[in-house]
Amino acid sequence: MSRIERAEVFVASPGRTFVTLRITTTDGVTGLGDATLNGRELAVAAYLRDHVVPLLTGRDPARIEDIWQYLYRGAYWRRGPVTMTAIAAVDTALWDIKGKTAGLPVYQLLGGRSRDGALVYSHASGTDVPSLLDDVERHLELGYRAVRAQAAVPGVGGTYGVRKGKLYEPAATDLPDEQPWDTEAYLGFAPTYLEAVRERFGFGFHLLHDVHHRLTPIEAARFGRSVEGCRLFWMEDPTPAENQEAFRLIRQHTTTPIAVGEVLTSIWDVQHLITEQLIDYVRTTVVHAGGITHLRRIFDLAALYQIRTGSHGATDLSPVSMAAAVHLDITVPNFGIQEHMGHPDEAAEVFRTGVTFADGMLYPSDEPGLGVEYDEKAAERFPYQRRYLPVARRLDGSVHDW
């Protein structure tokens, strides 16, 4: 019987930092898992190396559920982003191994296709309205059927979501960039540029917007109502999700769909949001919510309440996670949309991706497992570089919600 022979943790920064777990069986089969936690990568790497890897040697890699429960229940300290990201890496690697052993792509092990591909959205942004409109046009010409739109608020430097280079990468500085934030200025400006997008391009594509936790519930309700004419696919993270009952107030004032969950890590974190139907899309992701095994449970719960999926897919998900996400996306009955930002060019030197983009959709590889490869030698050319997300501060100098 095949057993886990070794597990290795790699940290590299090919354009941005990724933590990758590689599990090898006594039969010589390898599986990859993503363990990247943006801005806290080394915490997960240490958790894996010091506390998880020693527990894996000699275990049966086919017992995915048993290993998941062992790592979750056996640690006593449950949940949290570091723990759930580490478990996710192990879980994803084991699904990769199971697919390779069976000679099937992972989506076949999950029940086969429910759809041909996964609808994705990408990020358009601008320093002002004209540059935003140009970027929306560029994404539509690339074939995207869904676009997220963000523009810099006039007079407020460093507005969240505005790309400064080829790719939008918020974790771009060695220490956190402290950026100003003005809620009233944002509430007055954001609806105008979303309306400008609709006025120029019409309603033949999905339009999304990310509030990024920065409004109070009543402010979010006000914003949602003000953009109802734009028919947004969703407004993302309108208010921090710690107080989940707050979403009921937003619901009472607007019909703009709500998407939440990229910073939530377990089914218990989203249980109330789902069962009370306080959101329309759940954005939990493979890498931060316990891997394929646990994310599928979240999606199954959401399906009971007519809530669709909309997983996080920013550049802090490595090609391993993106492949795993798409394998799951095409199987679940309540799929909604998948975020897709792409990766830096340097990442292609380290990872061979397991997905392809065409006509606004992502398609998984039909190779056994996830279809992703990791080049350890290439990764050595990209040593770890510390990068942090920015910190928002109100005009009075106090720290704002992310």
110-368 belongs to which CATH class? alpha beta
User: What mean pLDDT do residues 334-345 have?
Assistant: 95
Distance CA 331, CA 104 (A): 14
User: What mean pLDDT do residues 175-187 have?
Assistant: 90
User: What mean pLDDT do residues 268-291 have?
Assistant: 98
Say if residue 122's pLDDT is above 70. Answer: yes
| Domains in the chain: boundaries | 4-105, 110-368
pLDDT of 11-22, one tens digit each?
999 999 999 999
- Residue 208: what pLDDT? 98
Active site residue 212: yes
- Residue 391: what pLDDT? 87
Contacts of residue 305, defined as CB under 8 A and 6 or more positions apart, other chains included, come to 274, 275, 277
User: What mean pLDDT do residues 164-183 have?
Assistant: 81
pLDDT band at 165 (very low <50, low <70, confident <90, very high): low
- % of the chain residues with pLDDT over 90: 87
Say if residue 175's pLDDT is above 90. Answer: no
Please report how the helices 291-304 and 319-329 are oriented relative to each other, as an axis angle in degrees rounded to 10: 40
Mean pLDDT, rounded, of the chain: 95
| DSSP code per residue over 23-83 | EEETTS-EEEEE---TT-HHHHHHHIIIIIHHHHTT--TT-HHHHHHHHHHTTSS--SHHH
User: What mean pLDDT do residues 10-35 have?
Assistant: 97
Distance CA 78, CA 82 (A): 10
Say if residue 158's pLDDT is above 70. Answer: no
- Residue 396: what pLDDT? 81
Among candidate residues 123, 206, 209, 212, the one labeled active-site is 212
Please report how the helices 217-226 and 246-253 are oriented relative to each other, as an axis angle in degrees rounded to 10: 30
Distance of CA 310 to CAs 142, 222, 281, 349, Å? Answer: 21, 23, 6, 28
- Residue 119: what pLDDT? 98
Which pair of tokens denotes residue 381? 């050319």
Q: Of the ranges 160-169, 207-216, 229-238, which one carries the lowest mean pLDDT score?
A: 160-169
User: What mean pLDDT do residues 199-212 have?
Assistant: 97
User: What mean pLDDT do residues 246-261 have?
Assistant: 98
Distance CA 25, CA 216 (A): 50
Say if residue 169's pLDDT is above 80. Answer: no
Active site residue 343: no
pLDDT band at 395 (very low <50, low <70, confident <90, very high): confident
Say if residue 168's pLDDT is above 80. Answer: no
Among candidate residues 160, 168, 193, 281, the one labeled active-site is 160
pLDDT of 282-339, one tens digit each?
999 999 999 999 999 999 999 999 999 999 999 989 999 999 999 999 999 999 999 9
Which CATH number does 4-105 carry?
Answer: 3.30.390.10
- Residue 160: what pLDDT? 73
The amino acid occupying position 338 is: Q
Contacts of residue 131, defined as CB under 8 A and 6 or more positions apart, other chains included, come to 151
Q: Which residue has the higher pLDDT, 94 or 169?
A: 94
- Residue 394: what pLDDT? 87
Distance CA 220, CA 215 (A): 6
pLDDT of 35-78, one tens digit each?
999 999 999 999 999 999 999 999 999 999 999 999 999 998 99
